[in-house]
Amino acid sequence: MKRNGLERIVEAFETSFRSHNSALMPYFTLGYPNLKASIEVIRAIAPYSHFLELGVPFSDPIADGPTIQRSTQKALEQGMTSAKCLETVRQLRSDGIDVPILLMGYYNPILAYGERQFVQDAAEAGVDGFIIPDLPLEESITLGSYATQENLAFIHFLAPTSNSSRISRVIERANGFVYMVGLTGVTGARGGMDSDVETIVRQVKAATNIPVAVGFGISSPEQAVATADFADGVIVGSALLTSVDEDAKDITRAPAEFVKSLWDALRRRSQSG
């Protein structure tokens, strides 16, 4: 029987939990540095990923730092569109990639495409859920309801500045997992994350069984392992994009080695625990 998006996400977390580990969730921009290369990189990192978070390029990615901004701009210059992103997911599924795929993008392209149609087409292509950083909880009811109708996840955010009331509202609406932003500011590699992150993650985990994944600022195996000590998922994006050498003879080698280093570090942590 074909699993729906929410079932695939639950199953992926259960797989990581059985190995006493956090789920590894790499982010990569679709169409960077070109469509063919992005497909090759995604294929190369998939064996070392519990989830794939794939970026839908947009001209004004307000939550993203310079690295992801550059990748999305280059993808747009290569002619990447929302429709091509969905077609790429369909191709990845036909290639046998079976891990959950989450589309990370912004609201304007979805609105231009048509909310209901975008969700339906995404479900048909093999998408399992959506991460829309510029669509706050209060304004996501319509799009979130379309996702629910297709049994897809709609991921909500918490920040280090979130208060108890905000945490409660996010928990009430959460499905798939909660995305905990590791720092105040935009995406990008950092030396560490805000001190309140672990406290909020533990507060959420005490109140619900919904998994919590942490992203923004994680850029090394050491940081991934430290995050896995309290979070159910580890999201890494900018550092992965930085590993891409556009002039390399084998463009997949460095990103695959980087994601494998995170995968191996998390595996060693679970084995030693």
The residue type found at 64 is D
Q: Tell me if 21 sits within 8 A of 267, measured CB to CB.
A: yes
What the block records as the tokens of 151 is 């049994």
The residues assigned a catalytic role are 53, 64
C-alpha–C-alpha distance, residues 32 and 76, integer Å = 9
C-alpha–C-alpha distance, residues 53 and 127, integer Å = 10
| DSSP secondary structure letters along 64-119 | --HHHHHHHHHHHHTT--HHHHHHHHHHHHHTT--S-EEEE--HHHHHHH-HHHHH
Determine the 3-state secondary structure of 248 from DSSP: coil
C-alpha–C-alpha distance, residues 138 and 28, integer Å = 28
Q: Among candidates 6, 25, 10, which has minimal Cα distance to 209?
A: 10
In the block, tokens 């695939």 appear at: 8
Q: What is the separation of C-alpha 65 from the centre of its chain, rounded to a whole number of angstroms?
A: 15
